[in-house]
Amino acid sequence: MKHKRSFFAFILISLTVVSGCWDKREMNELAFVSAFAVDLNEEGKYVGTFQIINPGNVAGGLQGGGGQNASITVYSAAGDNLLETEGHVSMKVSRDLYYAHTNLIIISEKVASEKGITELFDLFERAREFRTTTNVVLTRNSSAEEMLSVLTEKDKIPAEQIVNNLKGAEESQGEYQKITIDNVINSLITSGNEPLISAFSIKGEPKKGTKMENIQASQPEVRMEPNGLGVFKNGKLIDWLEGETARGTLWATDKVQATSLNITWKNKKDAIAYQVVRQKTKIAAQLKKDRPKISISVRAEGRIAEVSVSSDLTNPHTLAAIEKEVAKEIKEEIEKAIYHAQINKSDTFGFGDAIHRSHPDKWKKIKSEWNNEYFPSSDIEVKVEAFIRRTGLRTNSYLSDLEQ
Amino acid sequence: MEKAQINLYQLFVLLVLFELSTILAPLGIAAKQAAWLSILIGMIGGLVLFLVYYRLYCYYPDVMPTEYMQILLGRFLGSVLAFLYILYFLYLAARVLRNFGEMLLILAYPVTPLFILNAGLVVVTVYTVRKGIEVLARTGELFAIVIFFLAASSLLLIVLTGLIKVTNLQPMMEVGMGKILETAFSETLMIPFGELIVFTMIFPYVNVNHSKKLRKAGLMAIGFSGIVLAFTMAINISVMGVSIVSRSPFPLLSTIRSIEIAGFLERLDVYFMMVLIIGGFFKFSIILYGAATGTADLFKIKETSRLIYPLGFIVLMFSLAMASSYPEHTYKILHSDAVLFTTSIPFLVVIPIMLLVIAFFKNR
Amino acid sequence: MFSFFEHSKKTSKNYSPEPLPKTIKSSLSDNLALLKQKTGKSPDIIIRSLKIGNQPKVKAAVVYVSGIVDTQTINEFLIEVLINYKEKPGNEAGQELIEKIAEEVVSVGSIKTETEWSSLFESLLSGNALIFIDGAAKALTAGTKGGEKRAIQEPSTQSTVRGSREGFTESMETNMAMVRRIIKNPNLWIESIKIGNQTRTDVSIMYINGSAESAVIEEVKKRLKKIKIDSILESGYIEQLIEDQTMSPFPTLYYTERPDIVAGNLLEGRVAVFINGTPFTLLAPAVFVQFFQASDDYYTRFDIATATRFLRAFIFLISLLGPATFVAAITYHHEMIPTTLLIVIAAQRESVPFPAIFEALIMEVTFEILREAGLRLPKAIGSTVSIVGGLVVGQAAVQAGIVSPTMLIIVAITAIASFATPSFAVAISARLLRFAFMICAASLGFYGIMLALFMMVAHLCSLRSFGIPYMAPFAPFMPGNLGDTLVRIPWWSMKKKTQLMNHKNIQESKNKKSQSLKT
């Protein structure tokens, strides 16, 4: 019995100690990829660009360093598919590329409009290290490689700054949306819903942005800014949405988190700024004689943020009138966006999906022709309710005292 | 038979842990949005099957199935059948082990040989099972607490993150009732509910003064775990959408991965891993224990614990040899008609019902 | 310690070269000669010869061992009264005289007549005085135990914020008296035996009759009686000889030096084993949660006590799994660390020359060295060690780039955690297992940790302490007994006594191996 037990223990120890360690990777054997970008070169091959974090220059503190050297290094290589670009890059990097902390995938305008994004995502979904909650962003007016090479001043890792910028824009502007790999795939496979991907562009000369001097200045010459929403059809980029059209689209898809809009009051343009605090959009779809009828109802709540004409804001009737104006404004935006989309013949709103949910059987028939035939001709009814809940720390503006 | 007793609560816990280990897999996803419905239907079938096993237990509450098979069918035929059942349990154990190893391999250990991962579990299981059903049951009680906290906290996190989109569950009847029923009876009834046949080997150890209480505990455990499984599947679909769920071998992993709160409570893969290991451990140990105690009873071996070493080794080897790839493995489990009609249906449904009929007439 | 043990074993082989004669003789000189011969004329054996009575004077002797007797008692109540005894012995032989002396003369509390040498020697060596009278084949033993003792002091290993400041001493009588003072109940019963062929150590078991389960009492007695060993120097000997399973890193008996803890456990139905010569008293049966409870918990309010107990469970997990989890996370599961944290750790590890597991092992071993070094040193030097250790290990190692600061933090937290467990016995087993966990983590990551954890939990679940499952009341789950485990419910809601020690839960120990050492 005693021998058996020690034999057992021996097997156990040899199992754990001697045999283990296949998947062991020390941290200083890894190159953490913070962002990955896809582009096309002249020959039509994919170019993969990898933004790799230099931890020592990011964390600083310990060695007293940081700030002196670039916090990232960018590598890129061409290949027939994405995995091949990785293979070519890993020859240049002294460490294993590691993707579990990649939180940004950049797709260049060129890939999106020429080759389409349909076949790009399998690797990201299949690979163990990639997380499908990674954000996806398009470039506009620049190559993906340039975009990844620009150093940023606030977040030391540029990929993080892009994501945070986008998040900020989403939460305050209502013209952009964060979208993850999951979302993109889900939109690509459902024919009743086309993806909307936010785009970034570089302000200034991209080459300068790769130097440390750029971010040492108080006003960096080169910056990255969110710039429009890319509209897709059959996986290809066909159009950009900007400003009110973009916001109208997001209103209709229930994606606006907070935004502000200006309305005309007492014949003065942009006299009152209304800030949306929360909103809820519901889409109901019906089929009447194979003609889709979509009704959108939007409910927005908010407050008055800025007033430049005198008006009696203590009076509920005034507020009710302003509410009506706001609702009209929102409705116009939405209708404009829908009109735009119907011309593009691309259902970015998920109306098709709504029909799929309410009429699963009929949907199978109209599915393939949805974008080209049914969507552009569908009846769309928009109902908007807007509420003003409060008016801030003052009731009436001092402008009303000025008038008296 | 080992001299040991477990109480009803312990039986309940073991049943639930056994059932819930399948929580990771895309159960009944062939029914698309109605996967949860097919799980519930499977569960009802499972309850009926459990009642069959339970009635058999009622006729012979103190002896192992390996023994009452001999009483019912005669010495020779009964022994052969009992032996076949033991082989079936070994096959089940190997299947669970293979699944477990493959999941770990895909999830976190892409380079480690399957043998090492499987052997690790076998070593720990053998160590535990050798100590008997009592220790296994007590270990289960402790880990049930862990599972409970994992489940509660992850559910809370998923709800807090606002990931649930009910629209993803519509349209419910995408595939039609026929397909839902087919999925329920060919997949979810067999796995995980039919596999409960292993517990017939454990019922004789349950210390109960009134056998009705055992029925109650069993029905409650199956009902509870069925509802949890269905609920989990519904959450998976509502978070990820049908398409992604049906394309992932472990939808729960993707669901857990999408939790992101306050920029810090994210990357909770470890949750999934703990559920995987705890579930895998208990399912595997219970089946292995069933096989071992059955063998000991059939061949009149006094010390069950000695049997565990060779059985563990056989199962380990079989688990490595049973399929050449993971897709082949899952295909064999879920979609292969040959496996369904030669093993699952006869061993889980037909033979128990037949035995019950014989027992009914013998004991009239 | 080791050589000492060896020595005692050797002497055991040529112990008592000649057998002791069974009974004493009536001749005083013969008896005294034998005494001298048997004790090797040791100078601490004092033989005071005197003559008592009047015409004829009878020769007598008082024998005692200096140092372990109360000299004052001997002088005043034995020697003085004997010398002043001037009655005529008349024709009475020594036999009657000795009884008369016992009944009428000597005024000490306990007095006995003995005829057998073996019990006389035992009595003499445990501090009694012997009175021999010429012509009597009997001797008197007078209870004169005494000598220098340590005063009752505050316990050093289990100090509390609130609660009694009394701690046990080395004297068993004092210790039992302290418990008696707390529980004034005639049902508090004590049984005593002597263990150890050479040390003849007094061992007493104490329990509350009616409260303690008789099966447990019988089991304790049975196991104590089975012990065959030369010497018992500390309660640790008894603990290791009567525990259910020796092959386990976990303690299945609880030891304490606080009378209030003993009293509380006796009231819960446990059995206490007192060993003379040590302040540490054993309590049986012990369950795992017990080692996370401190006497403060019962004295502070229930909410605070409950929170503290959860904290302790958490502390135990840290001290068990802390470094292992860290090693697993940074060598296998980088994806589970939040990005910003990962970058910080990665930046620190850039220049570290060792693999993470090696780094962790170095630091852990260094810490154990420091602890061991500081443990046995006088306090003044001890603080020097900790300063040097802190400087060298902390500052210098990081600055030299040998270890990363994060690793240092982890090891330091673990070290502190291992001291925060109330019971040293469990803390030390966690420290031992920590290394096993670290190795598992280094070879298979979290999977390795989980496997090791399963083994540990299965092992814990298989343990029993005197028939009670070690993990009770969690496994097997006993809902009625959860009031005083990791939570402590308020006193008013603890309606009935915990049923943990109920006979239903007691099972025959599976450990059939003899627990005795062959001498």
All structural domains of chain B, each given as residue ranges with its CATH number in brackets, are 8-362 (1.20.1740.10)
Distance from CA of B189 to the nearest CA of C (A): 30
pLDDT of residue C515 exceeding 50, the answer is no
Q: Alpha carbon B201 to chain centroid distance?
A: 14
Chains that touch C (3 or more CB pairs under 8 A): A, B
Count of CB pairs separated by less than 8 Å, B with C: 87
Q: Which domain holds residue A282?
A: 243-404
Residue A8 lies in a domain: no
Residue of A23, A72, A101 best to disrupt the C interface, most CBs of C under 10 A: A101
Residue A106, pLDDT score: 93
Do residue A62 and residue A172 come from a single domain?
yes
Please indicate if any CB of chain C lies within 8 Å of the CB of A32.
Answer: yes
What is chain C's mean pLDDT, rounded? Answer: 84
Select the more confidently predicted residue: C7 or A237: A237
Task: Report the alpha-carbon distance of residue C83 to residue C74 in Å, rounded.
Answer: 12
**Percent of chain B beyond pLDDT 70?**
99
Q: From residue A9, how far is each of A4, C209, C458 by CA, in Å?
A: 9, 44, 16
CA distances from C466 to C234, C236, C287, C517 (A): 21, 17, 10, 20
Range list of H helices, C198-338: 214-226, 235-242, 259-267, 295-299, 302-331
| Beta-carbon separation of C461 and B109 below 8 A | no
A226, part of any domain? yes
**Subunit contact A27:C332, Cβ cutoff 8 A:** no
Tell me which DSSP letter residue A317 carries. Answer: H
> Residue C129's closest CA among C148, C112, C104?
C112
CB contact, 8 Å: A155 with chain C? no
Binned at pLDDT 50, 70 and 90, residue A18 comes out as low
Residues A140 and A252 in one domain: no
Residues A235 and A281 placed together within one structural domain of the fold: no
Task: Return the pLDDT at C490.
Answer: 86
Interface test with A, best of C334, C358, C408 (most A CBs within 10 A): C334
User: Of the candidates B109, B119, B123, which has its C-beta nearest A23's C-beta?
Assistant: B109
Same domain, A337 and A277: yes
The confidence score (pLDDT) of residue C1 equals 39
Same domain, A274 and A300: yes
Q: How confident is the model at residue C93 (pLDDT cuts 50, 70, 90)?
A: low
Question: Which chain C residue's Cα is nearest to B261?
Answer: C338
Q: Do C335 and B120 touch (CB under 8 A)?
A: no
Residue ranges of the alpha helices (H) in B165-247? 177-183, 211-240, 242-247
* Same structural domain, A89 and A218: yes
Task: Flag whether pLDDT at C5 surpasses 60.
Answer: no
Tell me if A12 is assigned to some domain. Answer: no
Segment of A351-355, A378-382, B234-238 carrying the highest mean pLDDT: B234-238
Q: Identify which of C342, C344, C443 has the shortest CB distance to residue A16.
A: C443
Q: Is the same domain home to A183 and A289? A: no
CA atoms within 13 A on the CB side of A300: 34
Average pLDDT, chain A: 86
Contacts (Cβ under 8 Å, ≥6 apart) of B169? B33, B234, B237, B238
What are A282-308's pLDDT values in tens digits?
988 888 877 888 899 999 999 988 888
* Comparison of pLDDT for C279 and A9, the residue scoring more: C279
Q: Report the distance separating Cα B82 and Cα B39, nearest Å.
A: 30
Q: List, for residues B103-115, the tens digit of each pLDDT value.
A: 899 888 888 889 8
Q: Which amino acid is at C284?
A: A
The model's pLDDT over A124-180, given as tens digits with 9 standing for 90+, comes to 888 888 888 899 999 998 888 888 889 888 888 899 999 999 998 888 888 888 899
CA–CA separation, B289 vs B305, rounded Å?
9
Could B123 and C457 be called an inter-chain contact, meaning their C-beta atoms sit closer than 8 Å? no
Q: Which residues contact B325 (CB under 8 A, 6 or more apart)?
A: none
- Residue that terminates a domain, selected from A210, A241, A272: A241
Structure tokens at A361: 């059987």
A212 and A299 share one domain: no
| Yes or no, beta carbons of C330 and A24 under 8 Å apart | no
Residues of chain C contacting residue A55, judged by C-beta atoms under 8 Å apart? 343-344, 346-347, 350
Residues A222 and A282 in one domain: no
The verdict on C454 touching B (C-beta cutoff 8 Å) is yes
- Residues A258 and A113 grouped into a single domain: no
Q: Mark whether A183 and A261 lie in a shared domain.
A: no
Q: Does residue A120 share a domain with residue A168?
A: yes
Q: Lowest-pLDDT range, B39-43, B77-81, B328-332?
A: B328-332
Domain boundary residue, one of A241, A268, A285: A241
pLDDT in tens, C287-337: 999 899 988 888 999 999 999 999 999 999 999 999 999 999 999 998 888
Identify all chain B residues contacting C469, using CB atoms and an 8 Å cutoff: 138
For residue A308, the model assigns a pLDDT of 87
Confidence of residue C514 (pLDDT cuts 50, 70, 90): very low
CATH of the domain at A314: 3.30.300.210
A contact residues 68-107, partner C, Cβ 8 Å cutoff:
98, 100-101, 103
- pLDDT for the residue B1: 65
Tell me the per-residue pLDDT of A274-284, one tens digit each, with 9 for 90 and over: 999 888 999 88
Residue A170 in any domain: the answer is: yes
Per-residue pLDDT band for C4 (boundaries 50, 70, 90) equals very low
- Write down the pLDDT at residue C203: 92
Q: What is the ipTM of this complex?
A: 0.93
Domain stops at, among A188, A218, A241: A241
Q: Bridge partners of A232?
A: A237
Q: Name the pLDDT band for B233 (thresholds 50, 70, 90).
A: very high
What's the half-sphere exposure (Cβ side, CA atoms, 13 Å) at B232? 28
What is the DSSP annotation of B66-127?
Answer: HHHHHHHH-HHHHHHHHHHHHHHHHHHHHHHHHHHHHHHHHHT-SSS-HHHHHHHHHHHHHH
pLDDT digits (tens, 9 = 90+) for B179-232: 889 888 888 888 889 889 999 999 999 988 777 889 999 999 999 999 999 999
Please say whether the beta carbons of A263 and A300 come within 8 A: no
| Per-window interface: C 427-446 vs B, CB < 8 A | 444-446
Nearest to C439 by CA among A6, A27, A15, A17: A17
Is residue A201 situated within a structural domain?
yes
Query: What is the reported pLDDT for B25?
Result: 86
CA B351 to chain centre: 19
The pLDDT of residue A387 is: 92
Q: Do B124 and C455 touch (CB under 8 A)?
A: yes
Using the predicted structure, report yes or no on whether residue C511 has a pLDDT greater than 50.
no
Whether C220 has a pLDDT exceeding 60, the answer reads yes
CB C113 within 8 A of CB C99: yes
Q: What mean pLDDT is reported for chain B? A: 89
A316 occurs within a structural domain: yes
Look at strands A30-40 and A104-107 and give their pairing: parallel
The identity of residue C207, as a single letter, is Y
A289 at the B interface (CB within 8 A)? no
Tell me what the mean pLDDT of segment B141-164 comes to.
Answer: 89
- Grouping H, G, I as helix, E, B as strand and the rest as coil, residue C186 is coil
A186 and B243 within 8 Å at the Cβ level: the answer is: yes
Q: For the segment A205-254, what is each residue's pLDDT rounded down to a tens digit?
A: 888 888 888 888 888 888 888 988 999 888 889 889 988 889 989 988 88
User: Does any domain span residue A4?
Assistant: no
Contact status of C450 with chain B (Cβ, < 8 Å): yes
Cβ pair C349:A27 closer than 8 A? yes
Residue A252 placed within a domain: yes
Burial of B242: CB neighbours in 10 Å, binned 0-12, 13-18, 19+: buried
User: For residue B80, what pLDDT is reported?
Assistant: 94
Question: Chain B contact for A90, CB < 8 A?
Answer: no
Please report the number of interchain residue pairs, chain A to chain B, with beta-carbon separation below 8 angstroms.
57
State the total domains in chain A: 2
C3 pLDDT band, cuts 50/70/90, is: very low
Q: What pLDDT score was predicted for residue C517? A: 34
For the cut 80, the answer to whether the pLDDT of residue A82 exceeds it is yes
Q: Do A132 and B258 touch (CB under 8 A)?
A: yes
> What residues in A contact C343, CB-CB < 8 Å?
32, 53, 55, 58-59, 157
pLDDT, position B143: 94
CA pair distance B88, A167, nearest whole angstrom: 55
- The DSSP annotation for A116-129 comes to -STTTTHHHHHSSS
